[in-house]
Structure 1
Amino acid sequence: MKIIVLYVLKTLGAILGIVALYVILGLVLPLIEVSGEEDGQPKDIPIYIYTNGVHTDIVMPVKNDLFDWSTKVPFSNTKSKSTDYNYIGIGWGDKGFYLDTPTWADLKFSTAFKAAFWLSDSAMHCTYYKTMKEGEDCKKIMISRNQYTSLVKFVEDKFDKDSKGNFILIPTDAVYDVNDAFYDAKGKYSFLNTCNTWANDALKAAGQKAALWTPSDFGIFRHYK
């Protein structure tokens, strides 16, 4: 009996230790800034980082002479089917969180557990916007054409594709508004690789300043005050 009790206590101690270490790293590592890369080119393409308070999206022009997102993420896949949007926000995350948890009140333990430990699929959430309003939750970043090309490649590569190279739409009514849609994505979400970790890595791919590592939106936005 003593052996069992000791084993349980050691297990609980290990779990608490891991949680404590995660919290500490989640607070400390975001403070370490990875500097942006200067490529010497004009910064004439606007992008945005946008958070809903938990999740960070990378927002880009719908179309310019370098890339047209509407050919990959058709307007017709949104409920509005409107074609007069000017920006598209894209985020990567856990499929269960996206589709089964419209609010925190709907969060189930099974969904959170699967997401934390690599046990569920991932998805891309694509949202169209007509305008972007800068504020505490939305920061504008000007980048060069080369940096934008790198960013597009990073984001595009995260989408799952069919045999013809098309993004794979997830048929669902669990959209957040009339201007968004979900697509299958590559990779597994976990407590080490969150939606915000991905957005932070997207900024690095575009040669922009970012946190060394962050699981939270705070870790990104603190570098863009």
Structure 2
Amino acid sequence: MRKIIKRLGIVILSFTAVLTIGYLTPRKWGNYSQADCTISLYISNEGIHTEIIVPVKNQYFDWNQFLPLTEIGRDATSDYKYLSFGWGDRAFMLENPSSGSINLVTGLKALIFPTPSTVQVQGYRVLPKNIETKCVSISGSNYLRMVDYLKNTFQLEAKGNKIKIGYGYGNNGIFYEARDSYSILRTCNDWTAEGLQKAEVNTPLWSTLSSSIMFHLNSGCECIVSSQ
């Protein structure tokens, strides 16, 4: 019995060490920079879940052409300045409006079994102030790569239309069916990290935890923080 306990302890310590190394190790080392630093975007951290916040319109892309702003949320408004994109387990995101109301059964099921996913889109007139956000600037070409990544997250029906699931938690959000399955091997924060990698933004080797993404967030550019 003692040998079994000892071996189990070694396995747990080894696993913890590997995860810690992955948490602290960046994918990019040394000095690096973008070709230009023209676009500022934001990453939000809601405690266990990160999202990507982009400007509705700039010289490179107009999101209103892909997602009509008036269908985002119950407000039916077109004056959003920013859109926030978040991906995750469908049941978990639809049933848990905040980290303080997590359904443990749904959460465990999402981690253990591959499950259907959803993408949540929220519109903001100004940047959210009640959650942690960090700014990162990237080049125009890298921004377009991120745009393509976000667009390809949506599951489309046969006619090419996006599939609405329902409104979000507040008056400014909506859920759509998303591509790919959620699992412990690809979580909501791994999805965020993949998008950042498309834009050549630094991410950790192990990106499952939201705090690790925020810790390593760096594009090599000085971010121009919006006054809005």
Tell me, yes or no, if structure 1 residue 93 matches structure 2 residue 88: yes
Q: State the alpha-carbon separation in 2 of the partners of residues 32 and 157 from structure 1.
A: 28
Q: TM-score, normalised by structure 1?
A: 0.82
Partner residue in 1 for 2:222: none
Partner in structure 2 of residue 53 of structure 1: 47
Distance 1:25 1:192, change over 3 A: farther
Q: CA deviation at 1:179?
A: 0.7
Partner residue in 2 for 1:28: 21
Number of aligned residue pairs: give it. Answer: 211
Which structure 1 segments of 5+ residues have no match?
1-5
Q: Any conservation in 2 of the 1:49–1:139 contact (CA below 8 Å)?
A: yes
Aligned residue in 2 for 1:159: 154
Whole-Å separation in 2 of the counterparts to 1:85 and 1:22: 44
Is the aligned partner of 1:176 residue 2:169?
yes
Q: How does 1:179-190 map to 2 (within 5 A)?
A: 179-190=172-183
Structure 1's 177 and 197: CA in aligned 2 closer, same or farther, altered over 3 A?
Answer: same
Amino acid at match of 1:58: I
Q: Distance in 1 between matches of 2:11 and 2:87?
A: 25
Change (3 A) 1:148 1:132: same
1:168–1:183 contact (8 Å) kept in structure 2:
yes
Report what 1:3 is aligned to.
none
- Do the aligned partners of residues 165 and 68 (structure 1) sit closer, same or farther apart at CA in structure 2, a change above 3 Å counting? farther
Percentage identity across paired residues of the two chains: 28
Distance in 2 separating the partners of 1:56 and 1:20: 28
Q: Structure 2: any 5+ residue segments left out of the alignment?
A: 219-228
User: What's the TM-score once normalised by structure 2's chain length?
Assistant: 0.81
CA RMSD of aligned residues (A): 2.7
Instruction: State the 1:120 CA deviation.
Output: 2.1
Cα distance in 2, alignment partners of residues 21 and 179 from structure 1: 44
Q: Given that residues 41 and 137 in structure 2 are in contact (C-alpha distance below 8 angstroms), is that contact kept between their aligned partners in structure 1?
A: yes
Asked if structure 2 preserves the Cα contact closer than 8 Å seen for 1:49 and 1:138, the reply is yes
